[in-house]
């Protein structure tokens, strides 16, 4: 019976290490007067404390209006992290108690030049972010904000499938 209790506790901890979010992201001009785009955004986050990694799957709309899925892997060391993807690389700092983070800030360098400055805040059931997009010439081009709420894995999977299907539906019209 004790072994069963330990296994249930262990499995519960594994489940708690994954988070699913749904919300809206809006990208505006630096002064906020022009909205470039607003879209549904999904995030699946896995905290892997044992290997000092945070994995994210992000479903978002690219500038061409197509929903895409990006995989992001953060290598964590203390409160610092580094990230590298085909589209960007960078580093940042996480806030709060280790592995119970309450936020973070980062600077990401884009492959084609330019950078993104990000500031994120996490609560038990929300993920809120502000991103500044800077061009290669050092000019602020856009500010993006997102407000996401916690959802179930089943809802995440269903919404992800639906959003990605909109890509093929829009090509068929």
Q: What is the pLDDT of residue 162?
A: 95
Q: What is the pTM of this model?
A: 0.84
Query: What band does 166 get if pLDDT is binned at 50, 70 and 90?
Result: confident
Arithmetic mean of pLDDT over the chain: 88
Q: What is the pLDDT of residue 132?
A: 97
Give the model confidence (pLDDT) of 55-109 as tens digits: 999 999 988 889 999 999 999 999 999 998 888 899 999 999 999 999 999 999 9
Q: What is the pLDDT of residue 106?
A: 97
Helix (H) or strand (E) holding 122: strand 115-122
Q: What is the pLDDT of residue 170?
A: 58
Segments making up each domain of the chain, as ranges: 18-172
Give the model confidence (pLDDT) of 19-36 as tens digits: 999 999 999 999 999 999
Distance of CA 110 to the CA centre of its chain: 16
CATH of domain 18-172: 2.40.128.20
Q: What is the pLDDT of residue 19?
A: 94
């Amino acid at each position: 019976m004790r072994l069963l209790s330990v296994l249930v506790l262990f499995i519960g901890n594994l489940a708690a290490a994954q988070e699913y979010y749904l919300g809206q992201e809006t990208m505006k001009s630096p002064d906020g007067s022009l909205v470039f785009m607003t879209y549904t955004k999904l995030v699946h986050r896995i905290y892997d404390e044992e290997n000092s990694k945070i994995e994210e799957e992000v479903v978002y709309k690219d500038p061409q209006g197509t929903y895409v899925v990006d995989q992001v892997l953060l290598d964590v060391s203390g409160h610092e992290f580094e990230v590298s993807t085909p589209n960007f690389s960078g580093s940042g700092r996480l806030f709060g108690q280790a592995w119970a983070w309450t936020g973070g800030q980062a600077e990401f360098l884009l492959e084609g030049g330019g950078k993104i400055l990000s500031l994120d805040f996490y609560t038990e059931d929300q993920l809120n972010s502000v991103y500044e997009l800077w061009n290669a010439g050092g000019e602020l081009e856009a500010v993006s904000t997102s407000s996401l709420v916690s959802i179930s894995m089943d809802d995440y999977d269903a919404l992800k499938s639906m959003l990605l299907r909109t890509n093929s539906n829009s090509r068929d019209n």
